[in-house]
Amino acid sequence: MYGGCHYQANCVFIVIVILQLILSMHNTINFLLKRQLNNGRSCLYSFYFSNLKASRSLIK
């Protein structure tokens, strides 16, 4: 029983580490995007919203 409990704790620990890695990567990517795309942000937003409108029209 102890081995299974220990294994489960390891799994939870691994999941937490992976989530922390994903969050830190997400923050880093956001930081880089904000720094690089300050001028191109409106272009990115217009591209995103045009795609959003297209997908909404497809759903309708």
Q: Provide the number of structural domains found in the chain.
A: 1
How would residue 26 be classed by pLDDT, with cut points 50, 70 and 90? confident
At residue 12, the pLDDT reads 84
What range does the domain containing 26 cover? 2-59
Spatial separation of the C-alpha atoms in residues 12 and 25, rounded to whole Å: 20
Longest dimension (CA), the chain: 58
At residue 2, the pLDDT reads 55
- Sequence-distant (6+) residues with CB within 8 A of 44 are 37
At residue 20, the pLDDT reads 92
How would residue 34 be classed by pLDDT, with cut points 50, 70 and 90? confident
Spatial separation of the C-alpha atoms in residues 57 and 52, rounded to whole Å: 9
